[in-house]
């Protein structure tokens, strides 16, 4: 017999059985009370609660999760937390799911499938209740891990074929088409595209492709030019891109931007050069950021369903967690906000 009790407990943490002892009940009852208070009789419940209070008991989620083989954790992966557009979706999800007692584990992929794979791998080892990913492009290994895991998966912010499971988003192709049509309707004939990360951001790419397709349809020609600014301080990058565009295609009369920050940068540069917006050049952005209605002139843009996506994803998560096995595909649409930057006289 090995009698030297191997002391492993470092901290004298208050455990459930401490509470049980004080309340003079069994640990099972405390556990039950914590999980389903109604199934414990009134007086006992009160005894337990007061024991919890006096001891300052904090349940150990790890132990619970291990025993129950489930956590109340939702893994969420967005391309970048620096992008205000995703912040707002995540914020909404946080509110909706937090209210139901779920924790969000937030990670970012930096627009790279390999990064995403690493994050998903880590998150899965928390055995989350669900996973929420951005977009439909994932590495083969990511897809494999996810489908092996029997964790509900929700993809958001995009529409397309072969979703892993549930899909909540809108069509970026349609956004591009709408942007192009809008400028053409405003009388533009030579339309350029200024975006960022077109090489890695699948959704940006789709918007660009959508506008290109629409331009072919409507005008029978492509973008006069497509400029990719790369990441970084976008407003500044757009300054240069715009200047560059003006020198290579001085007859440009419309620009579609990958996002509103780029448009803001170009707007400033235009004003500095005395180019009149929208009369010389009409502009439309994407994102409807905080400032988009306050630029000079106010910026026409696309408002993606940021908060709506967050809310709908949260609903889907809750349904899936409760076992409703409906794999859906929800198109939340978007809104084109026509403002002065594209209102030509």
d(C-alpha 307, C-alpha 329), whole Å: 17
Check binding of 6 to a second copy (CB under 8 A): no
Q: Which is nearer to a second copy, 206 or 311 (CB)?
A: 311
Q: In the bound complex, what is the minimum distance in angstroms from residue 126's beta carbon to DNA?
A: 12
- From the list a second copy, DNA, none, pick the one residue 27 interacts with, judged by a Cβ distance below 5 to 8 Å according to partner type: DNA
Q: CB-based contacts of 251: which residues, under 8 Å, 6+ apart?
A: 190
Q: How many CA atoms lie within 13 A of 254 on its CB side?
A: 23
Q: Tell me the CB-side half-sphere exposure of residue 227, using CA atoms within 13 A.
A: 25
Distance CA 111, CA 201 (A): 6
Residue 145 interacts with DNA (CB under 7 A): yes or no: no
Nearer CB in complex with a second copy: 124/219: 124
Would you count residue 160 as binding DNA (CB under 7 A)?
no
Q: What sign does the dihedral 206-210-211-213 (CA atoms) show?
A: positive
Stretch of residues binding DNA (CB under 7 A), selected from 27-35, 238-246, 248-256, 265-273: 27-35
Name which of 99, 109, 162, 161 is nearest 132 in CA terms. Answer: 109
Distance in angstroms between the alpha carbons of the first and the last residue of the chain: 94
- Give contact residues for a second copy (rule: CB under 8 A): 8-11, 56, 58-63, 65-66, 69, 71, 80-82, 84, 87-88, 90-91, 94, 103-108, 121-122, 124-127, 144-145, 148-150, 233-236, 238-239, 261, 264-265, 268-269, 271-272, 290-291, 293-296
- Give contact residues for DNA (rule: CB under 7 A): 2, 5-6, 8-9, 13, 15-17, 25-29, 31-32, 34-35, 39-41, 44, 59-60, 63-64, 66-69
């Amino acid at each position: 017999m090995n009698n030297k009790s191997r002391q492993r407990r470092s901290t004298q943490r208050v455990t459930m059985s401490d509470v049980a002892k004080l309340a003079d009940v069994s640990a099972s009852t405390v556990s039950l009370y914590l999980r389903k208070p109604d199934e414990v009789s009134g007086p006992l419940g009160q005894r337990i609660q007061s024991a919890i209070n006096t001891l300052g008991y904090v349940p150990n989620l790890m132990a619970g999760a291990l025993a129950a083989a489930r956590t109340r954790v939702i893994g969420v992966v967005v391309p970048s937390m620096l992008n205000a557009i995703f912040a707002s979706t995540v914020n909404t999800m946080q509110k909706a799911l937090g209210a139901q007692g779920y924790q969000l584990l937030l990670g970012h992929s930096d627009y790279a499938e390999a990064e995403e794979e690493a994050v998903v791998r880590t998150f899965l080892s928390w055995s989350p209740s669900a996973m929420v990913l951005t977009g439909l492009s994932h590495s083969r290994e990511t897809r494999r891990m996810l489908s092996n895991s029997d964790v509900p998966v929700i993809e958001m912010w995009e529409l397309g074929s072969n979703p892993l499971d549930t899909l909540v988003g809108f069509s970026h192709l349609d956004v591009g088409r709408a942007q192009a049509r809008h400028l053409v309707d405003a009388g533009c004939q030579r339309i350029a595209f200024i975006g960022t990360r077109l090489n890695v951001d699948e959704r940006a790419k789709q918007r660009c492709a959508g506008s290109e397709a629409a331009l072919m349809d409507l005008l029978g020609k492509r973008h006069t030019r497509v400029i990719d600014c790369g990441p970084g301080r976008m407003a500044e990058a757009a300054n240069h891109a715009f200047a560059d565009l003006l020198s290579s295609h001085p007859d440009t009369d419309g620009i579609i931007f990958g996002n509103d920050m780029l448009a803001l940068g170009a707007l400033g540069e235009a004003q500095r050069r005395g180019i009149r917006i929208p009369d010389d050049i009409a502009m439309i952005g994407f994102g409807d950021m905080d400032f988009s209605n306050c630029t000079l002139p106010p910026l026409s843009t696309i408002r993606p369903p940021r908060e709506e996506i967050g809310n709908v994803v949260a609903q889907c998560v809750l349904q899936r967690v409760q076992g409703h096995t409906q794999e859906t595909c929800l198109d939340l649409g978007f809104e084109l906000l026509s403002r002065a930057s594209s209102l030509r006289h």
